A and B are shown apart, each in its own frame.
Chain A
Amino acid sequence: MVDIEELRERLVGRELPGGSFSVPPYESWLMSDVLCSPPLPEGVLHPTYVFHAGMRGVGFDIASLLDLVHCRPEDGPMIGETDLRQVRPLRVGETLRGSTRVVDLVRKRGRSGVFDLMRVETAIRDEQGSAVAFLTNTYVFPRRS
């Protein structure tokens, strides 16, 4: 099992690589369909996209995040908590930039065994640098071996 102190030393306080992204109209359509969303105003993304911005606004994808903490997809990583703050709705096609920092990482033991909780904060800004949303996610990484 990966050493928690080594992980903490390497990750807590670390800025993850920044990234930019935009959501094309077809992805917005698909997301609304997946979520069974009520109709949205023209050009506005479903607010759940703030959550996705927390992943896509990082310079790597979910697989890379799992590599970072030595967790395999088949270990059953999960999202434990999320705190989503929307300054204004995200818009279809606009370029958004994310800056992400690991703020905490702790090891716990529960009924299902040992797991790590990692809290990550992301700020989402538009091309002018104005904040459009903030996200704090706590991920659960089971440690099965």
Chain B
Amino acid sequence: MGTVAPGFRIPPWRLERVEAARMKTMSALMRDPNPIHFDPEATRALGLGDRVVNQGPANLGYIVNMLLEWVGDPAAIRRLRVRFEANVFAGDRVEAGGEVTEVRDDGGGRVAVCDVWLRRDDGQRLVSGTAEVVVDEVG
């Protein structure tokens, strides 16, 4: 995995295709009645096109997946602050990425502060923000 230091690029996490069927399950799990996640008629009515829109927390989850694959332990994820910048649609191919900007010892462990993002394969930035992750076990 290499030494964690400013400039270290977190291995990216990719999803080849965002599936509409998964959005329906997510709507049920979240008790979310917003029809843009399961009814293309709703997205058309809002001028968003013919494809349903992925839930924000799912997009957040892809960034979490990238961090989990990097550090291994869910407990290592201390903080995640993000802005949702653009919609992710059914059929999109997305990639979560990140880069370490600072490493500090906060008394509870060595913490990497990272810029994180989610992008579509056309380069559109979808989500961006920062993460704080304990990297004692990473290197």
Contacts and interface: CB of A to CB of B under 8 A. Distances in A.
Nearest to B85: A80
A41 interface: yes
A82 interface: yes
B5 interface: no
A34 B74 contact: no
Interface string B69-80: 100011101111
B138 interface: no
Contact of B33 (A40, A73, A83): A73
Nearest to A84: B80
Contacts of B79: 83-86
A51 B35 contact: no
A84 B81 contact: yes
B42 A74 contact: yes
B12 interface: no
A111 interface: no
Interface residues of B, number: 37
Interface centre among B30, B36, B48 (most CB of A within 10 A): B30
Contacts of A78: 56, 84
Secondary structure of the B side of the interface?
helix
Given A30-B25, A36-B15, A46-B74, A81 B64 contact: no
A62 B78 contact: no
Contact of A79 (B68, B74, B84): B84
Closest 9 CB pairs of A and B: A79-B56, A35-B61, A48-B61, A83-B81, A51-B57, A89-B74, A61-B31, A73-B34, A84-B80
Interface of B: 15, 22, 25-26, 29-36, 42, 45-46, 48, 56-58, 60-62, 64-65, 68-69, 73-75, 77-84
Interface of A: 27, 30-31, 33-38, 40-41, 44-48, 51-52, 55-56, 61-63, 66, 73-74, 76-86, 88-89
13 contacts: A31-B29, A34-B61, A36-B65, A38-B68, A52-B57, A62-B33, A74-B42, A79-B57, A82-B84, A85-B78, A86-B75, A88-B75, A89-B74
